[in-house]
Amino acid sequence: MKIGIITECFDPTLNGVTVSIHSFEEVLEKKHEIFILAPQTHGYQETQNNVFRYPAITWFGPNDYPIAFPIFAPQVTRKVRELGLDIIHAQHSLGMLGAMGMRLAHDLDIPIVHTYHTLLVEYVHWKIGAPIGRWYVRTRSTNYCNRCDQIITPSNAMREIILGYGVKTPIETIPTGIDLSEFQNPFSRDELFQKWQIPRDKKLLLYLSRVAKEKNIDFLLDSIKELNQKRQDFHLILVGGGKELADYQKKVVQMGLDKVITFTDKQEKKLANRFFGAVDIFVFPSITETQGIVISEAMAAGIPAVAINKMGPSDIIKNNVDGFLCDLNLAEFTAKIESLLDDDSLRIKMGTTARENAKEFSKESCANKMEALYERTIANYRNRS
């Protein structure tokens, strides 16, 4: 197969979508041809020869999320038309590249599939900030889905939500796979101290994701404040960047938690992976994750997670077996962290089980499901034609 991946964000931007694209690409490219259409990023030197870049600007958003304008590069689209694609896989529904992908599939008479990665309405506050914005995002993304031949969601929870929106196109759940071998080389405690002055003698908690309001960071900080009032045997590492990072750094100082929390800012993927096995507990307060790839990654490193029982984490963590799922309740979330801080044998047992259960989310297993879905979608499309 010749597969065209269209995405509104790609390298050097590090987020769940970029991770997902690479995860599937690394397996599928062994048998198929993969081509990626993405925005240009100022100052970034392309490292892959199968990527087609479109002119982009950052006037309306963060610098690491450029907005592409394919209308200004018809020569790129002409090259893509000549590739002989069998299927297009759009990673986004709202941007101009997603719209171009829909037109391209129609013109080439090939099917288009779309992964609904993100609970988009939960991210409107930093773009539009009004009820009409939520309505617009929901309506437009639903209309896009209903023009596709197949929809993919990274979790069953996400599938149920977009069914509620009115999506009629067939939906299949395929999570993003992870490379289990990438979590076997953790930082040592000495390295953590030398690089970030993280205490050697504390039990370590880890949050690894974007530092942003929609990730429910305020809830996590409140939990850490409660813990800190009762004990001083732990330290939280916050790995991630974002435009609100400085605001949260100030808030931590205001809360008197600057000796308890270390911010590392955004780290490249290979370095970020080394944090998982270096800590004792992964903490994840987000209630908007369509999958929560980082939880699978923590499990692959043998680290139990404490997460909110909403959306993607509900599909990954087996509650009380390889981690804890909590209601959106501060006391419960804090208590589950404490239980793992207090009971080394429980923490080790859960971590061992988590590592074994993470095999279900290997990139090979997930890519095989995606390959079968592509083949089935192409066959169905040709039969209808």
Q: What distance in Å separates the CA atoms of residue 144 and residue 105, rounded to the nearest whole number?
A: 13
Q: What distance in Å separates the CA atoms of residue 323 and residue 268, rounded to the nearest whole number?
A: 26
Instruction: Quote the pLDDT of residue 150.
Output: 98
Q: Please report how the helices 217-230 and 245-254 are oriented relative to each other, as an axis angle in degrees rounded to 10.
A: 30
- Phi, psi at residue 286, to the nearest 5°? -60, 145
pLDDT single digits (tens) 117-176:
987 765 555 445 567 778 888 899 999 999 999 999 998 988 999 999 999 999 999 999
The residue among 305, 309, 289 whose CA lies nearest residue 357 is: 305
Q: Are strands 87-90 and 112-115 parallel, antiparallel or unpaired?
A: parallel
pLDDT single digits (tens) 16-50:
899 899 999 999 999 999 999 999 988 888 889 99
Q: For residues 53-63, give the mean pLDDT.
A: 78
Instruction: Quote the pLDDT of residue 123.
Output: 58
- Asked, as a colleague might, if the bond just before 12 is cis with ω within 30 of 0, I would say yes
pLDDT single digits (tens) 235-262:
999 999 988 999 999 999 999 999 999 9
CA distances from 134 to 156, 219, 333, 349 (A): 22, 23, 29, 43
Mind listing the domains of the chain with CATH numbers? 2-177+363-384 (3.40.50.2000), 180-361 (3.40.50.2000)
pLDDT single digits (tens) 177-193:
999 999 989 999 999 99
Q: Give 278's pLDDT tier (boundaries 50, 70, 90).
A: very high
Instruction: Work out the mean pLDDT of the chain and round it to a whole number.
Output: 93
Q: Give 197's pLDDT tier (boundaries 50, 70, 90).
A: very high
The residue among 247, 182, 175, 185 whose CA lies nearest residue 211 is: 247
Number of residues that make up the chain: 385
